[in-house]
Structure 1
Amino acid sequence: MAEFIQLHMLVSYPPSNLNRDDLGRPKTAMMGGACRLRVSSQSLKRAWRTSETFKEALGGHLGVRTKEMGWNVYLALKSGKALADVVEGTDTEAVRSPVDEKKAVAWGQAIAGVFGKLKTVKSVKDEKDKKESLCVEQMVHFSPDEIAAIDSLLARCAESGDDPAGDDLELLRAENSAADIAMFGRMLASSPSFNCEAAVQVAHAITVHRVAVEDDYFTAVDDLNRGVEDVGAGHVGQAEFAAGLYYAYLCINRDLLVENLDGDEALADRAICSLIESAAKVGPKGKQNSFASRAYASYILAERGSQQPRSLSVAFLKPVGGEDYMTAAVAALDKTRENMEKVYGECARECMMMNAATGTGSLDEILTFVSGDHA
């Protein structure tokens, strides 16, 4: 049985709108007959994957997720710059001779077509249409190795003048050094043999208590309005918000993560630590300038073992109440975990807890606990 690392967190956010639905309201879910705030797993994963914590810990081992690689290839060919510099938006000097417009478009489309179906553009009338013609329909996650392979192909084609074809276009890699692809997976409909099964599963975060989304009626005053003719507001608007204590859960299959990273256990442990540190400290950026809703996790329970993983969300099937949600939520988690082990037996080999409300444990202890092979 694989080695699993499970993380249970309680994070309190003040009035905010972290993750909006199609109407701009905070996302919600019905659970236990009560309305809860919800933050989607996709929103959480993106916040963690693009955080500075991730970039600092995993520099050189992070991929790029985009539909626009063909457009970036075109820009690299036209400018003569390295593809990685174009992708990152770095202002650098050319590293090879630029190619003409016609070849840049044709080669960009040929390379992009390897990764998915190109968007259909009836006629190219302007730069926007040209960009569309070089993009694929599905998002593709590229590893640093794959970006380097594309760049090497661009250099060869620019030097020889030959069109990319045949074995030159075998640009995908089964072996992977991109930690984010190894953790969150990759699905390529056009090249399923290069798919990667995610080693990390993330649940939608939900509030442990019932909530009501509220309306914020606001006005903005025109600084140059002297109040002589018009004393009204320059702008009137309305925004929705809510506050809550969220339960968040994630599960890491450490063995699969090591396998996805081609056996690199040291990189796997770095990835695990950076993920958990990001999960503890980083939240979605929705409406951040309006609400400054930055928060650290107040409670973390980390578990390790080869037993079948299980969430503890059932602890909050009945919404917690009273005036101290945090204490009540921690008690509900502890009781649920204790009762689970009474009926199922040991659900994890070992665990570590941190509670900022009581000053118990520390994030450093959690990170030490989750890193390395403890089996």
Structure 2
Amino acid sequence: MKRFTQIHMLVSYPPSNLNRDDLGRPKTARMGGKERLRISSQSLKRAWRTSDIFYESLAGNIGIRTKEMGEFAMKSFTTGIPFSALIDEKETAPKFTPVGEKKAQEWSENIAKVFGKPQSGDKSLKIEQLAHISPEEIRAIDELIQSCAANGTGPTDADLELLRSENSAVDIAMFGRMLASKPKFNCEAAVQVAHAITVHDCVVEDDYFTAVDDLNRGDESSGAGHVGQAEFGAGVFYQYICINNELLKENLGGDAELTSRAIKALVEAAAKVPPSGKQNSYASRAYASYILAETGDQQPRSLSAAFLNPVNKGDFLAHSIQGLKDTRNNMDAVYGACCDGFVEMNAFTGEGSLDGVLSFVADHND
């Protein structure tokens, strides 16, 4: 197994607002002295790990990130529906005899406290910070709830040892977990995702729009029923992902097959799935136009320096692809080979394929 897999992608998004700041504007960053559009790594990771591609490829090996496990435990206690069925939104008949609300509240609070500090407020079952719960921990909560309901007694301290150091949650293994009060159960992220930035400078534009009232016959006024303003941008984005294959395998308990499957699912989702922001307004869905995948034991490095001087003329995509290749070759010239092997997919010229990229990243991480 090669220690690292690095993914360099170019994705062209039409007018869109995929990732907004606190004012509702597309996020930006200054690079090379110029303003660029930006998509945060948090937004990208969220889109990928909640995608159909991820779920179809990794069913049973995906965790849940929530503040509300106490509320779901309460609902399970009081309805008799298993906790896991409620989490998965499965229509399931009650499987055990429900317990009274007072006991359910107390026992659910004790379960929630395992994963974080409760929010302030009377009878709050939510915790203050999001906690990522693995499939093993979901099953442990499920079993505990049903055991308490059957016995009519609350959980003991031993029963509340619900956290697991070893788990099969691919999303936790990839993107990490931090429990401030239980550092023993933290997980170091095996995947690093850079903020995507445009390869060229850009301007956030205003979108003035109106909506017509269908029942306004123009008898008194022919004006719009609504006037609004939104902001958007468009551009070719450079995205960089670094996967520590060895750490990912370690986080997944040494399961080589699951590790390989997880890497393939991540790369496919990254190539096909954009953030969901304002999709109904802009339909800004896009596949990667170019992918460079590298594997090796060498220290990873981004190729973002290719775009310190923004692309500002000609065919942006063609120039961006060439810029990445030139930067990669120049770095190899001065540092020596920065990877042991690589493969490319170029949708602009119809060369290579996504299947070829996925086979490459899987085959080099067995």
Corresponding residue of 1:92: 92
Corresponding residue of 1:265: 256
Corresponding residue of 1:147: 138
The runs of 5 or more residues in structure 1 that have no matched partner are 124-129
Corresponding residue of 2:119: 119
SS at match of 2:271: helix
Q: 2:245 aligns with which of 254, 277, 297?
A: 254
SS at match of 1:158: helix
Corresponding residue of 1:317: 308
SS at match of 1:75: helix
Deviations 1:239-290 (A, max 9, x none): 0001000000000000001000000000000000000000000000000000
Indicate conservation of the 8 Å contact 2:173/2:187, yes or no: yes
Q: 1:358 aligns with which of 346, 349, 354?
A: 349
The runs of 5 or more residues in structure 2 that have no matched partner are none
Deviation of 1:372 (Å): 3.3
With the length of structure 2 as denominator, give the TM-score of the two structures: 0.99
Matched to 1:323, the amino acid is: G
Matched to 2:144, the amino acid is: L
Deviation of 1:70 (Å): 0.5
Deviations 1:176-203 (A, max 9, x none): 1011111111000011000000010000
Corresponding residue of 1:227: 218
Corresponding residue of 1:126: none
Deviation of 1:373 (Å): 4.2
CA RMSD of aligned residues (A): 1.1
Deviation of 1:89 (Å): 2.1
Q: Give the Cα–Cα distance (whole angstroms) in 2 for the partners of residues 356 and 290 of structure 1.
A: 26
Indicate conservation of the 8 Å contact 2:2/2:365, yes or no: no
Taking only the aligned residue pairs, the percentage that are identical comes to 62
Matched to 2:150, the amino acid is: E
SS at match of 1:168: coil
Matched to 1:56, the amino acid is: E
Q: Give the Cα–Cα distance (whole angstroms) in 1 for the partners of residues 207 and 306 of structure 2.
A: 32
Q: Give the Cα–Cα distance (whole angstroms) in 2 for the partners of residues 323 and 231 of structure 1.
A: 44
Deviations 1:326-346 (A, max 9, x none): 011011101100110111111
Corresponding residue of 2:167: 176
With the length of structure 1 as denominator, give the TM-score of the two structures: 0.96
Matched to 1:255, the amino acid is: E
Corresponding residue of 1:73: 73
Corresponding residue of 1:158: 149
| More deviation, 152-161/4-13 | 152-161
Corresponding residue of 1:45: 45
Deviation of 1:168 (Å): 0.4
Q: Give the Cα–Cα distance (whole angstroms) in 2 for the partners of residues 182 and 289 of structure 1.
A: 32
Deviations 1:111-160 (A, max 9, x none): 10011100110x4xxxxxx5xx0010010000111000011111111011
**Counterparts of residues 20-59 of structure 1 (less than 5 Å):** 20-59=20-59
SS at match of 1:201: strand
SS at match of 2:301: coil
Q: Does 2:271 correspond to 1:280?
A: yes
SS at match of 2:159: helix
Q: Give the Cα–Cα distance (whole angstroms) in 1 for the partners of residues 152 and 365 of structure 2.
A: 54
Corresponding residue of 1:127: none
Q: Give the Cα–Cα distance (whole angstroms) in 2 for the partners of residues 52 and 333 of structure 1.
A: 30
Q: Give the Cα–Cα distance (whole angstroms) in 1 for the partners of residues 2 and 189 of structure 2.
A: 14
